C-alpha cells in the first residue's frame, strides 16, 4: 500500500490543507495527516481540537488518517514505515523553504517529498491568516472546512 504523510501544525485545518489532502488520496492509497507537536510553540487550538477538525472533515474518507508526532518528520516516517512526505506549495517563498527541508530530509533518510501546487482558489489561505481573522472577530468560515468551529 502506498502511503504518504502530510505533516504540519494544522492550527487550524484550512481549505488549502483540505484541497491538498483530497488531491493526495488520488495519488496515494492512504494519507496520514501528521500533526507535529512542538512543545516550544504556542497554538491557538489544542492538539485534540486540531485532530478532531481533521477527523471530522474526512469522516467519509477512510483513506485519510490522523496521527500526532514529536521529533523529526523522517524519524516518524521510519517508525510507521512510510516512504513519502506530501507537502503543498503556495508561492516562491514556500518553494525555497520546502526545498531546504526536503534536501535535509533526503540527507537524513531515503524518503521522497512529493509536492502539490495549491489550487488557485485556496492559494492565499494560511493558518496564520485564519488565526488573525478569528482573533479580530472576522468571518473565518469561508477559509476553513465546516468541521472547524470555535
**Catalytic residue ranges:** 17, 41, 90, 127
Q: Is 10 in the site for ligand ADP (CB under 6 A)?
A: yes
- Figure out which of the listed residues 30, 49, 83, 94 binds ligand ADP, where binding follows CB under 6 A: 94
The one segment of 16-24, 57-65, 103-111, 131-139 that binds ligand ADP by CB under 6 A: 16-24
> How many Å separate Cα 122 from the centre of its chain?
14
Q: What's the closest the beta carbon of residue 150 comes to ligand ADP, in angstroms?
A: 18
**C-beta closer to ligand ADP: residue 29 or 97:** 97
- Would you give the binding string for ligand ADP spanning residues 101-120, x where CB under 6 A is met? -----------------x--
The answer to whether 77 touches 60, Cβ cutoff 8 Å, is no
Long-range contact list for 1-4, CB < 8 A, 24+ apart? 1/29, 1/30, 2/28, 2/29, 2/30, 2/84, 3/28, 3/29, 3/30, 3/31, 3/32, 3/82, 3/83, 3/84, 4/28, 4/30, 4/31, 4/32, 4/82, 4/84, 4/85, 4/86, 4/114
Query: In the range 118-137, which residues lie near ligand ADP by CB under 6 A?
Result: 118, 122-123, 125-127
- Contact positions vs ligand ADP (CB under 6 A): 8-10, 14, 16-17, 20, 87-88, 90, 94, 118, 122-123, 125-127
Amino acid at each position: 500500500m502506498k502511503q504518504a504523510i502530510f505533516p504540519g501544525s494544522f492550527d487550524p485545518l484550512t481549505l488549502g490543507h483540505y484541497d491538498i489532502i483530497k488531491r493526495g488520496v488520488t495519488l496515494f492509497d492512504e494519507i496520514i495527516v501528521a500533526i507535529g507537536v512542538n512543545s516550544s510553540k504556542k497554538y491557538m487550538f489544542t492538539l485534540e481540537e486540531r485532530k478532531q477538525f481533521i477527523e471530522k472533515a474526512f469522516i467519509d474518507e477512510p483513506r485519510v488518517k490522523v496521527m500526532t508526532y514529536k521529533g523529526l518528520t523522517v524519524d516518524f516516517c521510519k517508525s510507521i514505515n512510510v516512504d513519502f512526505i506530501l507537502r503543498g506549495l503556495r508561492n516562491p517563498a514556500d518553494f525555497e523553504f520546502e526545498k531546504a527541508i526536503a534536501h535535509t530530509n533526503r540527507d537524513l533518510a531515503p524518503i521522497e517529498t512529493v509536492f502539490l501546487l495549491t489550487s488557485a482558489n485556496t492559494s492565499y489561505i494560511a493558518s496564520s491568516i485564519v488565526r488573525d481573522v478569528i482573533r479580530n472577530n472576522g468571518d473565518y468560515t469561508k477559509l476553513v472546512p465546516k468541521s472547524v468551529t470555535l
